Amino acid sequence: MTLGEGDTPLAPAPWLSKRVGAEVWLKFEGSNPTGSFKDRGMTVAVSAAVAEGAKAVVCASTGNTAASAAAYAAKAGLKGAVIVPEGKIATGKLAQALMHGARVIALRGNFDEALALVRELVERRPIALVNSVNEYRLEGQKTGAFEVCDELGEAPDVLCIPVGNAGNITAWWRGFQEYGVAPRLHGYQAAGAAPLVHGRPVEEPETVASAIRIGNPARWEDAMDAVTASRGAIRAVTDEEILEAYELLGRREGIFCEPASAACVAGLLKYGAEGRVVCVLTGHGLKDPQTALRQAASVIPCEPEIEAVERAVLGE
Protein backbone atom coordinates (compact mmCIF):
# COMPACT_ATOMS: atom_id res chain seq x y z
CA MET A 1 0.00 0.00 0.00
CA THR A 2 2.06 2.91 -1.22
CA LEU A 3 1.61 6.56 -2.12
CA GLY A 4 5.26 7.03 -3.12
CA GLU A 5 6.68 8.00 0.28
CA GLY A 6 10.34 8.57 1.13
CA ASP A 7 13.22 9.90 -1.01
CA THR A 8 12.70 13.36 0.45
CA PRO A 9 15.12 16.23 -0.24
CA LEU A 10 18.27 16.68 1.84
CA ALA A 11 19.24 20.29 1.27
CA PRO A 12 22.37 22.12 2.44
CA ALA A 13 21.52 25.07 4.69
CA PRO A 14 24.17 27.73 4.01
CA TRP A 15 22.67 30.46 6.17
CA LEU A 16 22.20 28.20 9.18
CA SER A 17 25.65 26.68 8.69
CA LYS A 18 27.25 30.09 8.92
CA ARG A 19 25.19 31.10 11.93
CA VAL A 20 25.85 27.87 13.84
CA GLY A 21 29.45 27.31 12.68
CA ALA A 22 28.72 23.78 11.51
CA GLU A 23 27.77 22.06 8.24
CA VAL A 24 23.99 22.01 8.47
CA TRP A 25 21.66 19.98 6.24
CA LEU A 26 17.86 19.93 6.23
CA LYS A 27 15.96 16.69 5.59
CA PHE A 28 12.57 17.91 4.40
CA GLU A 29 10.04 15.28 5.40
CA GLY A 30 7.23 17.66 4.43
CA SER A 31 7.79 16.35 0.89
CA ASN A 32 6.14 13.05 1.70
CA PRO A 33 2.74 12.39 0.06
CA THR A 34 0.63 13.64 2.97
CA GLY A 35 3.20 16.23 4.00
CA SER A 36 4.90 14.54 6.94
CA PHE A 37 7.34 11.76 7.89
CA LYS A 38 4.41 9.66 9.13
CA ASP A 39 3.95 8.27 5.60
CA ARG A 40 7.19 6.29 5.86
CA GLY A 41 5.72 4.26 8.69
CA MET A 42 2.09 4.31 7.61
CA THR A 43 2.81 2.55 4.31
CA VAL A 44 4.19 -0.39 6.31
CA ALA A 45 1.60 -0.36 9.11
CA VAL A 46 -1.39 -0.22 6.75
CA SER A 47 0.11 -2.83 4.40
CA ALA A 48 0.55 -5.11 7.41
CA ALA A 49 -3.01 -4.41 8.58
CA VAL A 50 -4.30 -5.43 5.13
CA ALA A 51 -2.17 -8.58 5.17
CA GLU A 52 -3.53 -9.46 8.59
CA GLY A 53 -7.09 -9.08 7.34
CA ALA A 54 -7.99 -5.91 9.27
CA LYS A 55 -11.11 -4.07 8.15
CA ALA A 56 -10.38 -0.82 9.96
CA VAL A 57 -7.50 1.21 11.38
CA VAL A 58 -7.53 3.66 14.23
CA CYS A 59 -5.09 6.09 15.81
CA ALA A 60 -4.83 8.88 18.35
CA SER A 61 -3.12 11.88 16.87
CA THR A 62 -2.02 15.47 17.15
CA GLY A 63 -2.85 15.63 13.42
CA ASN A 64 -0.18 14.22 11.12
CA THR A 65 -0.64 10.58 12.02
CA ALA A 66 -4.37 11.13 11.47
CA ALA A 67 -3.85 12.63 8.00
CA SER A 68 -1.46 9.86 7.01
CA ALA A 69 -3.57 7.01 8.44
CA ALA A 70 -6.65 8.40 6.71
CA ALA A 71 -4.88 8.57 3.33
CA TYR A 72 -3.40 5.07 3.46
CA ALA A 73 -6.64 3.59 4.79
CA ALA A 74 -8.48 5.22 1.87
CA LYS A 75 -6.02 3.73 -0.59
CA ALA A 76 -6.34 0.32 1.03
CA GLY A 77 -10.12 0.42 1.12
CA LEU A 78 -10.13 0.18 4.92
CA LYS A 79 -12.26 2.16 7.31
CA GLY A 80 -10.25 4.79 9.17
CA ALA A 81 -11.01 6.49 12.46
CA VAL A 82 -8.80 9.10 14.07
CA ILE A 83 -9.08 10.59 17.54
CA VAL A 84 -7.65 14.06 17.95
CA PRO A 85 -7.62 16.56 20.82
CA GLU A 86 -10.51 18.94 20.22
CA GLY A 87 -9.45 22.34 18.89
CA LYS A 88 -5.76 21.50 19.11
CA ILE A 89 -4.87 20.25 15.68
CA ALA A 90 -3.75 22.33 12.71
CA THR A 91 -6.41 23.09 10.08
CA GLY A 92 -4.64 21.43 7.15
CA LYS A 93 -4.35 18.12 9.00
CA LEU A 94 -8.03 18.19 9.87
CA ALA A 95 -8.93 18.89 6.23
CA GLN A 96 -6.76 15.99 5.09
CA ALA A 97 -8.26 13.44 7.47
CA LEU A 98 -11.79 14.51 6.49
CA MET A 99 -11.08 14.53 2.75
CA HIS A 100 -9.75 10.98 2.94
CA GLY A 101 -13.04 9.89 4.45
CA ALA A 102 -11.90 9.02 7.96
CA ARG A 103 -14.20 9.36 10.94
CA VAL A 104 -12.65 12.28 12.76
CA ILE A 105 -13.36 12.25 16.46
CA ALA A 106 -12.61 15.38 18.47
CA LEU A 107 -11.84 14.24 22.00
CA ARG A 108 -12.47 16.58 24.89
CA GLY A 109 -9.07 15.73 26.21
CA ASN A 110 -5.43 15.79 25.14
CA PHE A 111 -3.32 13.43 23.01
CA ASP A 112 -2.19 11.34 25.96
CA GLU A 113 -5.80 10.61 26.93
CA ALA A 114 -6.67 9.85 23.30
CA LEU A 115 -3.81 7.34 23.04
CA ALA A 116 -4.80 5.60 26.27
CA LEU A 117 -8.38 5.30 24.98
CA VAL A 118 -7.50 3.89 21.55
CA ARG A 119 -5.20 1.35 23.19
CA GLU A 120 -8.19 0.24 25.26
CA LEU A 121 -10.45 0.25 22.20
CA VAL A 122 -8.25 -2.14 20.19
CA GLU A 123 -8.33 -4.58 23.12
CA ARG A 124 -12.12 -4.67 22.74
CA ARG A 125 -12.50 -4.54 18.97
CA PRO A 126 -10.63 -6.06 16.00
CA ILE A 127 -9.22 -2.76 14.73
CA ALA A 128 -5.56 -2.23 13.81
CA LEU A 129 -3.79 0.42 15.89
CA VAL A 130 -1.46 2.49 13.69
CA ASN A 131 0.17 4.74 16.28
CA SER A 132 3.94 4.43 16.65
CA VAL A 133 3.43 1.82 19.38
CA ASN A 134 2.93 -0.31 16.24
CA GLU A 135 6.37 -1.80 15.37
CA TYR A 136 5.69 -1.59 11.63
CA ARG A 137 5.59 2.18 11.91
CA LEU A 138 9.14 2.30 13.25
CA GLU A 139 10.34 -0.14 10.59
CA GLY A 140 9.18 2.31 7.94
CA GLN A 141 10.34 5.46 9.67
CA LYS A 142 13.89 4.17 10.15
CA THR A 143 14.43 4.54 6.39
CA GLY A 144 15.00 8.27 6.86
CA ALA A 145 18.33 7.36 8.49
CA PHE A 146 19.31 5.15 5.55
CA GLU A 147 18.59 7.95 3.07
CA VAL A 148 20.65 10.51 4.97
CA CYS A 149 23.67 8.19 5.21
CA ASP A 150 23.38 7.12 1.57
CA GLU A 151 23.20 10.68 0.40
CA LEU A 152 26.01 12.08 2.57
CA GLY A 153 28.13 8.99 1.87
CA GLU A 154 28.52 8.55 5.64
CA ALA A 155 26.66 9.26 8.86
CA PRO A 156 26.24 12.86 10.05
CA ASP A 157 27.94 13.76 13.33
CA VAL A 158 24.68 14.99 14.85
CA LEU A 159 21.00 14.45 14.11
CA CYS A 160 18.61 17.13 15.42
CA ILE A 161 15.03 15.94 15.66
CA PRO A 162 11.81 17.11 17.34
CA VAL A 163 10.33 14.75 19.92
CA GLY A 164 6.68 14.23 20.80
CA ASN A 165 5.47 10.69 21.31
CA ALA A 166 9.13 9.69 20.78
CA GLY A 167 8.53 7.15 18.02
CA ASN A 168 10.54 8.93 15.36
CA ILE A 169 13.75 9.41 17.35
CA THR A 170 13.49 5.71 18.26
CA ALA A 171 13.04 4.78 14.60
CA TRP A 172 15.95 6.91 13.35
CA TRP A 173 18.25 5.36 15.94
CA ARG A 174 17.15 1.90 14.83
CA GLY A 175 17.96 2.89 11.24
CA PHE A 176 21.41 4.22 12.14
CA GLN A 177 22.20 1.11 14.17
CA GLU A 178 21.21 -1.14 11.29
CA TYR A 179 23.40 0.98 9.02
CA GLY A 180 26.27 0.43 11.45
CA VAL A 181 26.68 4.10 12.41
CA ALA A 182 26.06 6.13 15.56
CA PRO A 183 25.58 9.89 15.21
CA ARG A 184 24.71 11.85 18.33
CA LEU A 185 20.96 12.30 18.65
CA HIS A 186 19.88 15.76 19.75
CA GLY A 187 16.16 15.53 20.55
CA TYR A 188 14.13 18.66 21.20
CA GLN A 189 10.84 19.07 23.03
CA ALA A 190 8.72 22.18 23.47
CA ALA A 191 9.31 23.69 26.91
CA GLY A 192 5.62 23.38 27.84
CA ALA A 193 5.56 19.73 26.78
CA ALA A 194 8.95 18.40 27.82
CA PRO A 195 8.41 15.26 29.92
CA LEU A 196 11.65 13.63 28.74
CA VAL A 197 13.63 16.69 29.77
CA HIS A 198 12.05 16.86 33.24
CA GLY A 199 12.01 13.10 33.71
CA ARG A 200 8.30 13.01 34.55
CA PRO A 201 5.00 13.18 32.65
CA VAL A 202 3.44 16.60 32.07
CA GLU A 203 -0.26 16.66 33.05
CA GLU A 204 -1.30 19.53 30.83
CA PRO A 205 1.18 19.94 27.99
CA GLU A 206 0.97 23.24 26.12
CA THR A 207 2.85 24.58 23.10
CA VAL A 208 2.32 26.45 19.83
CA ALA A 209 3.85 23.37 18.17
CA SER A 210 0.59 21.40 18.40
CA ALA A 211 2.11 18.32 16.74
CA ILE A 212 4.33 17.73 19.77
CA ARG A 213 1.87 18.76 22.47
CA ILE A 214 2.38 15.48 24.33
CA GLY A 215 2.93 14.95 28.06
CA ASN A 216 3.55 11.22 28.35
CA PRO A 217 5.34 9.75 25.32
CA ALA A 218 4.60 6.10 24.50
CA ARG A 219 8.21 5.46 23.42
CA TRP A 220 9.71 7.06 26.53
CA GLU A 221 12.24 4.33 27.40
CA ASP A 222 13.21 3.53 23.82
CA ALA A 223 13.90 7.20 23.16
CA MET A 224 15.96 7.71 26.32
CA ASP A 225 17.96 4.53 25.56
CA ALA A 226 18.65 5.81 22.04
CA VAL A 227 19.76 9.22 23.28
CA THR A 228 22.02 7.71 25.94
CA ALA A 229 23.55 5.15 23.56
CA SER A 230 24.28 7.88 21.02
CA ARG A 231 25.86 10.17 23.67
CA GLY A 232 23.26 12.75 22.72
CA ALA A 233 20.73 14.78 24.68
CA ILE A 234 17.05 15.70 24.98
CA ARG A 235 16.55 19.38 25.61
CA ALA A 236 13.79 21.97 25.63
CA VAL A 237 13.09 25.01 23.46
CA THR A 238 10.50 27.69 24.22
CA ASP A 239 7.62 28.57 21.92
CA GLU A 240 9.35 31.87 21.18
CA GLU A 241 12.49 30.07 20.08
CA ILE A 242 10.43 27.66 17.97
CA LEU A 243 8.63 30.49 16.19
CA GLU A 244 11.88 32.34 15.57
CA ALA A 245 13.44 29.26 13.95
CA TYR A 246 10.20 28.66 11.98
CA GLU A 247 10.43 32.15 10.52
CA LEU A 248 14.18 31.95 9.85
CA LEU A 249 13.76 28.70 7.91
CA GLY A 250 11.14 30.30 5.71
CA ARG A 251 13.01 33.54 5.13
CA ARG A 252 16.61 32.37 4.98
CA GLU A 253 16.54 28.79 3.75
CA GLY A 254 13.39 28.83 1.61
CA ILE A 255 11.83 26.02 3.59
CA PHE A 256 8.33 26.22 5.03
CA CYS A 257 7.95 23.58 7.72
CA GLU A 258 5.49 23.37 10.56
CA PRO A 259 6.32 24.76 14.03
CA ALA A 260 7.00 21.32 15.57
CA SER A 261 9.60 20.68 12.88
CA ALA A 262 11.27 24.02 13.54
CA ALA A 263 11.80 22.95 17.16
CA CYS A 264 14.90 21.01 16.14
CA VAL A 265 16.39 24.04 14.40
CA ALA A 266 15.51 26.17 17.43
CA GLY A 267 17.45 23.63 19.49
CA LEU A 268 20.41 23.75 17.14
CA LEU A 269 20.46 27.56 17.30
CA LYS A 270 20.16 27.53 21.10
CA TYR A 271 22.53 24.74 22.07
CA GLY A 272 24.79 24.44 19.00
CA ALA A 273 26.41 21.35 17.51
CA GLU A 274 29.66 20.50 15.78
CA GLY A 275 30.58 18.89 12.50
CA ARG A 276 28.03 17.71 10.00
CA VAL A 277 24.53 18.22 11.34
CA VAL A 278 21.23 17.02 9.87
CA CYS A 279 17.93 18.54 11.06
CA VAL A 280 14.79 16.51 10.41
CA LEU A 281 12.02 18.85 9.29
CA THR A 282 9.14 16.52 10.02
CA GLY A 283 6.12 18.24 8.48
CA HIS A 284 5.09 20.78 5.82
CA GLY A 285 4.29 24.37 6.77
CA LEU A 286 1.07 24.29 4.74
CA LYS A 287 -0.41 22.02 7.39
CA ASP A 288 -0.79 24.95 9.75
CA PRO A 289 -1.68 28.12 7.82
CA GLN A 290 -3.12 29.79 10.92
CA THR A 291 0.17 29.84 12.80
CA ALA A 292 1.97 31.03 9.69
CA LEU A 293 -0.42 33.92 9.14
CA ARG A 294 -0.23 34.93 12.81
CA GLN A 295 3.54 34.93 12.62
CA ALA A 296 4.19 36.55 9.26
CA ALA A 297 3.85 40.15 7.99
CA SER A 298 0.42 41.32 6.78
CA VAL A 299 -0.65 41.42 3.14
CA ILE A 300 -0.62 44.84 1.49
CA PRO A 301 -3.98 46.10 0.17
CA CYS A 302 -3.77 47.96 -3.13
CA GLU A 303 -5.97 49.84 -5.61
CA PRO A 304 -5.77 48.69 -9.27
CA GLU A 305 -3.69 51.72 -10.41
CA ILE A 306 -0.07 51.73 -11.50
CA GLU A 307 1.11 54.36 -8.98
CA ALA A 308 -0.48 52.46 -6.12
CA VAL A 309 1.03 49.21 -7.37
CA GLU A 310 4.43 50.88 -7.68
CA ARG A 311 4.28 52.14 -4.09
CA ALA A 312 3.07 48.79 -2.82
CA VAL A 313 5.72 46.79 -4.65
CA LEU A 314 8.63 49.04 -3.71
CA GLY A 315 7.47 49.52 -0.15
CA GLU A 316 7.58 53.32 -0.42
Stretch binding ligand F0G (CB under 6 A), from 14-22, 55-63, 200-208, 230-238: 55-63
Beta pairing, strands 158-162 & 79-85: unpaired
Interaction mask 170-209, ligand F0G, x per CB under 6 A:
----------------------------------------
Q: Which is nearer to ligand F0G, 165 or 216 (CB)?
A: 165
Stretch binding ligand F0G (CB under 6 A), from 5-13, 143-151, 162-170, 240-248: 162-170
User: In this chain, which of 164, 195, 267, 285 binds ligand F0G, going by CB under 6 A?
Assistant: 164
Dihedrals φ, ψ of 62, to 5°? -90, 5
35 makes contact with ligand F0G (CB under 6 A): no
Stretch binding ligand F0G (CB under 6 A), from 62-70, 243-251, 289-297, 306-314: 62-70
- If one counts every other C-beta atom within 10 angstroms of the C-beta of residue 292, the result is 18
Interaction mask 89-128, ligand F0G, x per CB under 6 A:
----------------------------------------
Question: Please, which residues bridge with residue 26 across strands?
Answer: 11, 279
Burial of residue 123, with CB atoms counted within 10 A of its CB: 0-12 exposed, 13-18 middle, 19 or more buried = exposed
Least distance to ligand F0G, CB of residue 84, Å: 8
Strands (E), the chain: 10-12, 23-28, 56-60, 79-85, 103-107, 128-129, 158-162, 184-190, 233-237, 276-281
User: In this chain, which of 8, 165, 216, 230 binds ligand F0G, going by CB under 6 A?
Assistant: 165
**Binding-residue total with ligand F0G (CB under 6 A):** 22
43 makes contact with ligand F0G (CB under 6 A): no
Task: Please state, in angstroms and rounded to a whole number, the distance separating the CA atoms of residues 134 and 124.
Answer: 17
Beta pairing, strands 158-162 & 128-129: unpaired
Q: Establish how many alpha carbons lie within 13 A of residue 269's alpha carbon, considering only the half-sphere containing its beta carbon.
A: 21
User: In this chain, which of 71, 122, 130, 166 binds ligand F0G, going by CB under 6 A?
Assistant: 166
User: In this chain, which of 80, 85, 167, 175 binds ligand F0G, going by CB under 6 A?
Assistant: 167
For the chain, helix (H) and strand (E) counts, in that order, are 14, 10
User: Restricting to residues 280-309, which ones interact with ligand F0G according to CB under 6 A?
Assistant: 282-283
CA distances from 22 to 18, 78, 183, 274 (A): 7, 46, 15, 5
Least distance to ligand F0G, CB of residue 139, Å: 14
Q: Which is nearer to ligand F0G, 40 or 184 (CB)?
A: 40
Stretch binding ligand F0G (CB under 6 A), from 8-16, 58-66, 227-235, 299-307: 58-66
Q: Which is nearer to ligand F0G, 156 or 167 (CB)?
A: 167
Radius of gyration of the chain (CA): 20
Task: Please state, in angstroms and rounded to a whole number, the distance separating the CA atoms of residues 147 and 171.
Answer: 13
Dihedrals φ, ψ of 265, to 5°? -75, -35
Binding site for ligand F0G (CB under 6 A): 36, 61-65, 132, 162-169, 211-212, 258, 260-261, 282-283
